[in-house]
Amino acid sequence: MASENSVTETGNNFVRDIIRADLEAKRHSEIVTRFPPEPNGYLHIGHAKSICLNFGLAQEFQGRCHLRFDDTNPTKEEQEYIDAIERDVRWLGFDWGSHLYYASDYFEQIYAWAEYLIQAGKAYVDDSSIEEIREMRGSLTEPGRNSPFRDRSADESLDLFRRMRAGEFPNASRVLRAKIDMSAGNINLRDPVLYRILHAEHPRTGTRWCIYPTYDFAHGQSDAIEGITHSICTLEFEDHRPLYDWFIENLPVPARPRQYEFARLNLDYTVLSKRVLTELVRQGHVSGWNDPRMPTLAGLRRRGVPAAALRDFVRRVGVARANSQVDVSMFDFSIREVLNKTALRRMAVLRPLKVVIENYPADGSEDLEAINNPDDPAAGTRRIRFGREIYVERDDFMENPPKQFFRLSPGREVRLRYAYFITCREVIKDAQGEVVELRCSYDPETRGGNAPDGRKVKATLHWVAAAESIPAEIRLYDHLFCRPDPGAAGDVFADLNPASLEVLSGCRLEPILAEAKAEEPVQFERLGYFCRDTGSESLVFNRTVGLRDSYAKTQQTV
């Protein structure tokens, strides 16, 4: 169970305290939570917080967590999203067992409860238009006004409601409303809409229904049907709680779930609105829901973020009732924490500059030993080929270096990782004056990277052999948005970062990387964590995250 515990760890939080108290007071014998996504988009990192909380608490208290699709809005919902959501919850490390549900499974029961309210004089059919209803609802400062249809008889409402179901009326021509209190301070209690007419095909119920319950009328009742004990949702539903409770109190439901709210996750430089994410995909600002720049679980996975890093991040963020904005560098920290322990080290050169080692035998080559993970001796070693011609990183050479630059420059000696000390002897340029090759010498006494005479060098460079290395494309990602609060100035799409994707072609990799698998993270030494892209047939790697945050990198010139 020890490794399971890291999955279940939800950190200390007020919801857990409530659950513990409920169990101690024997208010419940078993904890039942649920994660209720609407299948109208892919899950994102904010949902991960809700998933880890709901599934995590259920695991911790030996209860269960249901996966319930909140599919009450047929026009926006699709099977593709249902499949993606199941895949992503599993990938994140959670399992609902046999407890997979759909709000649409309860349409018949929810409908029966609507008739129950009508018969009890607590609901009525309103023939007003949507605009009229909105207008009569009042505002935060003015009370609402009663609809002229509010006092129609239960029999008339029942008849109209049945005919609504039978498909006699066009979309939006009537609604069913609860009869609560048009002067309530809480607008949600001003005769909320329970059912609307929508002649639309539903992914699961097809054309069986042309009226659909609202979120408010479906959600708490679905919780009750499933015997949910703690219905945990985000703070925007706090004002809906009195309505949630009103339905539970006024209907003959089989259980009395209670709703608790926590603050949603907000991340800087990141948009978590499904509406905006959908538009990013639809308008082609990204390549799809799993574009590695997207905050979706599918995008993060494709970028190489391990599920364990998401769980770790969510745990560090914690669960509170105060809204806050989390720094994305905190997420990067969690990613590096996990990858540092698991990623195999490899060498790759993103922007190759050829180096010819003039005193190395022309046809010679040799195998050197390289360590796969310095933090994990069990990961072993591998052989890397060294030869007369190698590639180093273009950025690791400067012809006229400033004082603090210790890497290659004319006359300067540096270490090649796992190989030798080399000294730059000559710089070859093309007709445009661009450096195209370096001529160097090596010291055969320094094999393995140390000089027997104890002399030191100030830089160690990564490299690959020219002959054996393989070409690849490498994609570097930056924030999708260029301001920490995208959309704060108006148009969120105007804040898209035009430099969020940089594609490097002609990169050179150690040949072993030809067999890399998408799910296996690698660290390219000195460059960052990468993983093979799933969406490409040729060899493409995505950068998951740099080795340290880029602010620190700009401060450091060595």
For ligand ATP, the closer CB: 42 or 111: 42
Q: Which residue has the tokens 């706090």?
A: 238
- Which structure tokens are listed for 397? 């050479």
Please identify which residue in 173, 234, 250, 550 interacts with ligand ATP, judged by CB under 6 A.
234
Least Å from the CB of residue 212 to ligand ATP = 15
233 lies in the binding site for ligand ATP (CB under 6 A): yes
Please say whether the beta carbons of 449 and 416 come within 8 A.
yes
The residues assigned a catalytic role are 38, 264, 274
For ligand ATP, the closer CB: 47 or 412: 47
Least Å from the CB of residue 524 to ligand ATP = 32
For ligand ATP, the closer CB: 46 or 74: 46
Of 5-13, 30-38, 218-226, 315-323, the window that binds ligand ATP (rule: CB under 6 A) is 30-38
Please identify which residue in 32, 194, 197, 265 interacts with ligand ATP, judged by CB under 6 A.
265
For ligand ATP, the closer CB: 125 or 280: 280
Element (H, E) at 133: helix 130-136
For ligand ATP, the closer CB: 236 or 426: 236
Contacts of 235 (CB under 8 A, 6+ apart): 261, 262, 263, 264, 321, 323
272 lies in the binding site for ligand ATP (CB under 6 A): yes
264 lies in the binding site for ligand ATP (CB under 6 A): yes
Least Å from the CB of residue 239 to ligand ATP = 14
> Does the CA dihedral 430-434-436-441 come out positive or negative?
positive
Pairwise CA distance, residues 61 & 424, whole Å: 64
| CA distances for 226 relative to 65, 68, 101, 106, 533, angstroms | 10, 10, 9, 10, 40
Least Å from the CB of residue 262 to ligand ATP = 7
Ranges within 34-53 binding ligand ATP (CB under 6 A): 36-38, 40, 46-47, 49-50
486 lies in the binding site for ligand ATP (CB under 6 A): no
Contacts of 440 (CB under 8 A, 6+ apart): 355, 356, 357, 358, 422, 423, 424, 425
65 lies in the binding site for ligand ATP (CB under 6 A): no
> Does the CA dihedral 548-550-554-558 come out positive or negative?
positive
Which ranges of 295-380 does DSSP label H, i.e. alpha helix? Answer: 297-303, 307-317, 328-342
Contacts of 272 (CB under 8 A, 6+ apart): 44, 45, 46, 264, 265, 266, 295
Please say whether the beta carbons of 528 and 543 come within 8 A.
yes
For ligand ATP, the closer CB: 158 or 272: 272
Least Å from the CB of residue 280 to ligand ATP = 15
304 lies in the binding site for ligand ATP (CB under 6 A): no
Least Å from the CB of residue 477 to ligand ATP = 21
- For ligand ATP, the binding residues (CB under 6 A) are 36-38, 40, 46-47, 49-50, 233-234, 264-265, 272, 274
